[in-house]
Amino acid sequence: METGVIHFIHGKESGPSGSKLTALSNVARDVGWEVNALNYSHTFDPATRLKQLVSACSGERRPLLLVGSSMGGWVAAEAAHQLGAHGLFLMAPAVFMAGYPSQDPLVPGERTEIVHGWDDEVIPYEHAVRFAHLRKCTLHLVQANHRLTGQIPLLCELFAAFLKRCA
């Protein structure tokens, strides 16, 4: 497979130009992927964000990767099957969280990687462990809190390896 397009989906209280997404976007561009990052900050409703992503990507014919952080991780996971995403890279995804419309996304397990902090104060790491186990995904547990900002160099390394496997 050749490169295609990556959609970055930011978290609930972040934006499309956050530090993690900016760093990962640079990694992706360096190896030839097109990068898109919509702004979802107009709503805290995950279902509304999901509709926005699906609408933006529905006609995409190139290989599609979805990269999501926190609420954006939930949005990416939920959209994966609808959009035929080739792969997912999720950071502290909001899986198995009360108040979200669903908890049972179909994801490409062999091409889904999750990075979650041991000390996540928002989404317990056990949620990521459960999700990864059920979906047979790769899971990286790292010494970090929910934002993972202290681990940006490691995130970039893991993401670069993920892109290599997806290409």
d(CA 27, CA 61): 22
Is the CB of residue 127 less than 8 Å from the CB of residue 104? no
pLDDT (average), residues 137-150: 96
pLDDT (average), residues 80-90: 96
Instruction: Count how many domains the chain has.
Output: 1
pLDDT at 33: 96
What tokens does 38 get?
């919509």
Q: β-pairing, 5-9 with 34-37?
A: parallel
pTM: 0.96
pLDDT at 108: 87
Q: Write out pLDDT tens, residues 19-63.
A: 999 999 999 999 999 999 999 999 999 999 999 999 999 988 999
Q: What is the CATH number of the domain that holds 140?
A: 3.40.50.1820
The CA-atom distances, in angstroms, between 4 and each of 57, 61, 69, 87, 150 are 12, 9, 20, 11, 29
Q: What is the dihedral of CA 36, 64, 146, 27, to 10 degrees?
A: -60
Range of the domain at 87: 5-166
Band of pLDDT at residue 1, cut at 50, 70 and 90 = low
Q: List the one residue out of 100, 87, 102, 75 whose CA is nearest residue 14.
A: 75
* DSSP single-letter state for residue 147: T
Q: List the one residue out of 140, 137, 135 whose CA is nearest residue 155.
A: 140
